[in-house]
Chains A and B, each alone.
Chain A
Amino acid sequence: MSALLSVQGLTVRAGGKTVVSDLSFSIGSGERMGLIGESGSGKSMTAMAITGLLPPNISVTGSIVLDGQEIVGTEDKHLNRLRGVATAVVFQEPLTALDPLMKIGKQIAEPVRRRLQREQGRASRQAVGREVLDLLDKVALPQPERIANAYPHEVSGGQRQRVAIAMALACRPKLLIADEPTTALDVTTQAEILKLLDGLVRETGMALLFISHDLPVVAEVVQRVMVLRDGIALEEGAVIDVFANPSHDYTQTLVDAARMFDEALGRTGS
């Protein structure tokens, strides 16, 4: 199998409840895939399972092979070599996802330093600093020096999410997992962040797993989607097919709701 990520029969149980049941999908390198579902549908659990960061009292069975490495049942310390190398994650809440007490520049420097150390065996202060400013520039933040010197609470929500994206980019991952990256933002900022993410993914050629409850948002950035409800995959296919021809009632209601919402807003599709 040449897939970058291959999930087979993934089942997640927490507190006696099955949150994800028998889920299977795969993502090839450079491929962009969306995971759609309401909150509680198990999509975030799936993302966390792929990073191997679920708390130990949540049981995970099945198989997740990421970049040739089995994740389920592997000891945590072995996964450190995978996280930040094969995958990087952008989380939903940009305020809490950043360390409130550390300057933004230093936070971005952390993954940069780890990567330089890994790739070149050394990470000089200058090289790290240069890359940090480059990354801030790449995510289109104005005045990179100033932002690097600011604390997270001193910049806006959209800017914080750009910082979070810059941190993920710093890893140069093969697969970027974006867990509801625009949900906490207002509509205008949401559109800007989506455009940025879309551009960066195409430019760097990394694979993308985009998780959202918002169908139109997902449709804008991915090629393929999977619809989840109560931890069960309802359907999977190319974005256009699923949109035009939903095979499941639930997907139909999602599409309808999205369309009604768009019409109410006066938007004219994507």
Chain B
Amino acid sequence: MTSLDLSTDRPARRHSLSLSIGLALVGLNVVVAILTLFWTPYDPLNASGGRLEAPSWLHWVGTDRLGRDYLTQIMIGARTALIVGTGAVAIGASIGVTLGILAAFATRLLDDVMAATLDILIAFPTLLLAMLVVAASDSASLWSAILALGLAISAIVARLTRILAKRVLRQDYIIASRTSGTSWLGVVAWHVLPNIWPTLSVNFALQFGLAVIAEASLSYLGLGAPPPNASWGRLLQEAQGTVYTAPVGSIAPGIALVALVIGMNLFADGLRDVGDPTRRRSR
């Protein structure tokens, strides 16, 4: 009964609403991150007030246990989060898309083995894989965290790409195009990538959010970027120790983190609705 689907028609304005809220939240983050390259309210490395001060006009979110301005730390945390998210998605996308496309073109046996391996890798939470890679690299650094998350994301992206690419390759016009002599690289460039891009880009946005959460978790566990790199996860870990005396510290970085992740998720939702109107979620 196609006629009943009329009920799922939503006004177009709502789609762009999630897109614009998402863009606003992510944009705010980007602006703050860039700003910290030139200016921060206080010196991030040295005390600018008493220890564990409550929020005031001088220190909007108070100070940490070393007397450093907390807002400054959170702002720098935005930079770290953006670097990690962007880096991890870039690594995950380049490896994942390549592997996924190769699997889609590979022989049956190779494809099956790749699919099974990816399934196992994906069965493990990103965080656990990341913990291992970070542990394997000699010292915990921002880059090992990015690499670890990128690798974990690449497995997810590879599986998605493989499924999407195979779906495209089954289409009649691709078969026609291939029999008429287009090379497989040509098929990938002209048909496969443009067709799977809308779905992939939505997934990249979601993975960005997950990478930010995972990085925060890693630094919370003490496996992320070491000080002085401020990371929301480490800020929260430090604040947990003083949760009884200065509870604001264990709330503010979390709000910043959730705002960025929700922004990215809304952005993904908006992309999905705008980019591909045929794939609405109901039904």
Contact = CB atoms under 8 A, between A and B. Distances in A.
A/B contact in complex, CB under 8 angstroms:
yes
Interface of A: 14-15, 17, 19, 39-40, 42, 44-45, 48, 54-55, 57-58, 92
Ordered nearest first, which 6 A-B pairs have the shortest CB separation?
Answer: A14-B6, A15-B6, A15-B9, A57-B7, A55-B7, A44-B1
Interface string B1-25: 1111011010000000000000000
A92 B4 CA distance: 14
A98 B107 CA distance: 39
A44 B2 CA distance: 10
Nearest to B10: A15
A40 to B, nearest CB: 6
Interface residues of B, number: 7
A15 B7 contact: yes
A40 B4 CA distance: 10
Contacts of B6: 14-15, 17, 19, 58
A39 B7 contact: no
A15 B6 CA distance: 6
Contacts of B4: 14, 44-45, 48, 54-55, 58
A117 B6 CA distance: 38
B3 A45 contact: yes
Contacts of A45: 3-4
A39 B9 contact: no
Given A44-B4, A48-B1, A55-B7, 15 more contacts: A14-B3, A14-B7, A15-B6, A15-B7, A15-B9, A19-B3, A19-B6, A39-B3, A40-B2, A44-B3, A45-B4, A48-B4, A54-B4, A55-B4, A58-B4
Contacts of A57: 7
A48 B6 CA distance: 14
A267 B44 CA distance: 88
Nearest to A53: B4
A267 B7 CA distance: 41
A14 B6 CA distance: 6
Interface of B: 1-4, 6-7, 9
A54 B1 CA distance: 12
A17 B3 CA distance: 11
B9 A40 contact: no
Contacts of A40: 2-3
Chain B binding surface SS class: helix
Chain A binding surface SS class: loop
Which of A15, A48, A92 has the most chain B CB within a 10 Å cutoff? A15
28 contacts: A14-B3, A14-B6, A14-B7, A15-B7, A15-B9, A17-B6, A19-B3, A19-B6, A39-B2, A39-B3, A40-B2, A40-B3, A42-B3, A44-B1, A44-B3, A44-B4, A45-B3, A45-B4, A48-B1, A48-B4, A54-B4, A55-B4, A55-B7, A57-B7, A58-B4, A58-B6, A58-B7, A92-B1
A70 B7 CA distance: 24
A39 B2 CA distance: 9
A39 to B, nearest CB: 7
A58 B9 CA distance: 12
Nearest to A13: B6
Contacts of A54: 4
Contacts of B3: 14, 19, 39-40, 42, 44-45
B1 to A, nearest CB: 6
A55 B3 CA distance: 12
Contacts of B1: 44, 48, 92
Nearest to A47: B1
A14 B1 CA distance: 14
Contacts of B7: 14-15, 55, 57-58
Nearest to A40: B3
A143 B6 CA distance: 42
Contacts of A48: 1, 4
A57 B9 CA distance: 11
Nearest to A57: B7
A176 B141 CA distance: 72
A71 to B, nearest CB: 18
A54 B6 CA distance: 12
Contacts of A92: 1
Contacts of A42: 3
A16 to B, nearest CB: 8
B79 to A, nearest CB: 46
A73 B4 CA distance: 19
Nearest to A180: B1
A17 B1 CA distance: 17
A240 B263 CA distance: 65
Contacts of B2: 39-40
A52 to B, nearest CB: 14
A44 B6 CA distance: 13
A55 B2 CA distance: 14
Contacts of A55: 4, 7
A48 B3 CA distance: 11
